[in-house]
Amino acid sequence: MRPTIHDVARVAGVSLSTVDRVLNGRHSVRAATRDRVETAMRSLGYVRNAAAANLSRRRILRFLFLLPGGANSFMRNLEAEVLTYSRLLVADGVEVEVRTLPPFDAAALDDALAAIEPGTCDGVALVAVDSPGVRAAVRRLRDRNLPVVTLISDLTPELRAHFVGINNVRAGRTAGRLLGRFCGGTTGRIAVMAGSMVLQDHAERDRGFREVLRANFPALTPMDPIEAFDDAAIAERTLTALLEQTADVVGIYSIGAGNRGLVSALDRRGGRPPVVVHELTENSRGWLLAGKIDAVIRQDPAREARSALRTLVALSNGKAFHKDENRVGIEIFLQDNLP
Amino acid sequence: MRPTIHDVARVAGVSLSTVDRVLNGRHSVRAATRDRVETAMRSLGYVRNAAAANLSRRRILRFLFLLPGGANSFMRNLEAEVLTYSRLLVADGVEVEVRTLPPFDAAALDDALAAIEPGTCDGVALVAVDSPGVRAAVRRLRDRNLPVVTLISDLTPELRAHFVGINNVRAGRTAGRLLGRFCGGTTGRIAVMAGSMVLQDHAERDRGFREVLRANFPALTPMDPIEAFDDAAIAERTLTALLEQTADVVGIYSIGAGNRGLVSALDRRGGRPPVVVHELTENSRGWLLAGKIDAVIRQDPAREARSALRTLVALSNGKAFHKDENRVGIEIFLQDNLP
DNA sequence: CGCGTTTTGACTAACGTACCTCATTTTACC
DNA sequence: GGTAAAATGAGGTACGTTAGTCAAAACGCG
């Protein structure tokens, strides 16, 4: 049988109340008494029963997720995963509200954060837009002891409790090394297609990609990024034009969405250079299997949703959470290791 | 406020006892009554409070992990991860016993499974060795409603509740495709180093590797596997000999452990062909960063430990567990996407 | 030493569910 | 219609913790 606070009280020679006071930092307890209680806990190997504690606290944990709205398929996917996983957590007394905000709108995020009433929420996960207002709002939440987790896009580390997402520079580097190796010693130019370089994550991937090519594959020259604004038609048109004008394209890196256009453009030509894209979708999975692209790099939105939620739960329960467990990786998929 | 069984009873117009009977399938309840209760549950969106239920059941969940003993570093790693994660679960009333058995010993596994006393254990995770005795023992456990999860190595699917591990044929295919691409059109032979082809997982990886080379990279010819028995000295000696005898080795695939010997052998030569190995360790991570090898393929033992434990917990609580959540992937690491 | 202040103890109700007993009602069947 | 059997109700206790109240004890300080 696991020891309970009753056992701790008995061994420490104090009352239940005192154990409770030590455990929950209530009234003042003399240092000597606290020591005795803590020693007893250690010697018994006491671990607070999380189920009983939460039950007694009659506490349901309410978390707020602030995600950018709009058509961005990655974000919609992430939203769906958050909702899916939170349904599983209902049995453990967790309630999740997902609110979508105008994308890239610091003021809207700022307002949403400021509007959080004390006592109505036990933790926040947000896709950060870095601005002084947002930083101030997050700081206020932290001062209220509300755990804040950043998702996908980070803030300064001292403001948030945990960041769930990938390092996009390293994602770009990974793409660069993969494509560099796939090009196998040929010389030529690499076409780069992005959603928009205004997006921080796209810009970071682009940077990492170029770093690696410059340092490790000097025979490959990345071209200026085409901005396709995640639109298949634009992507197809501009890429087709580029391929017609440029004879020595020996590889293609697609940083964002709009890959349908990329594939159509390539389909109409005979042969194709190595292609590396981001995000695993039904489409990109099919293209990988069909041999229309060579590798997909992704961050798993399902794991990100779960990590964010688990982190919030752990922080709210005052549990140490395993950082490693809640880290998401930069995954590489070829047609053989698809999930 | 979330609805409780009291609410369900009120709405259904029955007593608490009856709701309890329906919920836990105790005495006989008339179909009509059961219907009313179930309708009430649905209309209220009732979800059983897992914390309260387990508390009341004064139930601690006891799980048994049966892992192969011996020096196999992957298994030792896995064992450590199981212990680490189970420490986190203590607060939720989970107790884990890890028992190591002689490796590849079906009889020992069989005995260990048969020795499980009813009532002393709520679920088993094992690294399966397929034999009639083991299958029978697992079937008996299943008949006792004890959830059984296979780890790393599977049994026939109908016997176990879940398998946590990777498909090694696909892992080998992944290695093959990666190495094939890295070799970039050159012609020659590929050296293959395994622990022992008696190991099923090594044999499967070898098979997948060859499949891909044959189908997609006909210019690359895999050589017969060197068996190094996970021993660095043997690996170094045999690989050195092989490289001296064979001029056209254009790639190396290491299926198992003993990579220290591989790296030493390569270190003593000028230049090296592309190298793909399995398992991410402090060593292989260092070699990747130092450019001594090109890619590492792994299954994450930490995630496998967590998945097995979470699956057992979910099954014991009668919860639907998310299959996807508890699946582990075949991960590819280059020096840029290391965790 | 006596005072006021801290610290501690004893006790109680509650959280939502499980599980038990005993009594009562309803049903099925002849 | 009467009987046994089945179904249901009522009520209690317990799980381990939280969170309170009130009284008693110990302490610090002049």
Give domain limits for chain A.
5-48, 61-165+301-328, 168-298
Assess contact for B98 and B68: CB atoms under 8 A.
no
The 8-class DSSP code of residue A278 comes to: E
Distance from CA of A322 to the nearest CA of B (A): 9
**Residue B115 neighbours by CB distance under 10 Å:** 11
* pLDDT score recorded for residue B15: 92
Contact at CB, A337 and B324, closer than 8 angstroms: no
Q: Which pLDDT band holds residue B167 (cuts at 50, 70, 90)?
A: very high
Q: Can you list the positions of beta strands (E) in chain B?
A: 61-68, 94-101, 123-126, 148-151, 162-164, 188-194, 220-222, 226-227, 249-254, 275-278, 295-298, 331-333
B18 touches strand D (CB under 7 A): yes
Q: What is the C-alpha separation between A79 and A100, in angstroms, rounded?
A: 9
> Which residue in A58, A179, A309, A337 has the most chain B C-beta atoms within 10 A of its own C-beta, making it the best mutation to test that interface?
A337
pLDDT surpassing 80 at residue A196: no
Q: Which pLDDT band holds residue B2 (cuts at 50, 70, 90)?
A: confident
Taking the C1' atom of every nucleotide in all shown strands and the CA of A7, the nearest one is: D16
Taking the C1' atom of every nucleotide in all shown strands and the CA of A15, the nearest one is: C9
B61-165+301-328 shares its CATH topology with B168-298: yes
Q: Which pLDDT band holds residue B327 (cuts at 50, 70, 90)?
A: confident
Choose among A85, A332, A334: nearest Cβ to B337.
A332
Torsion angles phi and psi, residue B77, rounded to 5: -65, -45
Contact at CB, A337 and B330, closer than 8 angstroms: yes
Average pLDDT over chain B, rounded to whole?
Answer: 91
Q: Which pLDDT band holds residue B338 (cuts at 50, 70, 90)?
A: very high
Mean pLDDT of A52-67: 90
* pLDDT score recorded for residue A316: 85
Mean pLDDT of A252-277: 90
pLDDT tens sequence across A6-54:
999 999 999 999 999 998 888 788 888 999 999 999 999 999 998 899 8
B91 touches strand D (CB under 7 A): no
Burial B322-337 (b: 16+ CB within 10 A, else e): beebbebbbbbbbbbb
* pLDDT score recorded for residue A80: 96
Choose among B55, B174, B181: nearest Cβ to A181.
B181
A48 touches strand D (CB under 7 A): yes
* pLDDT score recorded for residue A4: 93
* pLDDT score recorded for residue B81: 95
Q: What is the C-alpha separation between B146 and B316, in angstroms, rounded?
A: 8
- Type of residue numbered B67: L
Q: Which pLDDT band holds residue B112 (cuts at 50, 70, 90)?
A: very high
Mean pLDDT of A270-299: 94
- Type of residue numbered B16: L
Give domain B168-298's CATH superfamily: Response regulator (3.40.50.2300)
Q: What is the C-alpha separation between A328 and A312, in angstroms, rounded?
A: 16
pLDDT surpassing 80 at residue A321: no
- Estimate in Å the CA A118 to C1' C18 gap, whole number: 35
pLDDT tens sequence across A64-105:
999 999 888 889 999 999 999 998 888 888 999 999 999 888
**Residue B250 neighbours by CB distance under 10 Å:** 19
Contact at CB, B337 and A171, closer than 8 angstroms: yes
Q: What is the C-alpha separation between B259 and B230, in angstroms, rounded?
A: 8
Assess contact for B78 and B63: CB atoms under 8 A.
no
Q: What is the C-alpha separation between B155 and A8, in angstroms, rounded?
A: 45
Give domain B5-48's CATH superfamily: lambda repressor-like DNA-binding domains (1.10.260.40)
Bases in strand C with any atom closer than 7 Å to a protein CB: 6-12, 14-21, 27
Tell me the chain A residues in contact with residue B60 when contact means C-beta distances shorter than 8 Å: 2
Give domain B61-165+301-328's CATH superfamily: Response regulator (3.40.50.2300)
Q: What is the C-alpha separation between B33 and B12, in angstroms, rounded?
A: 9
Mean pLDDT of A299-322: 87
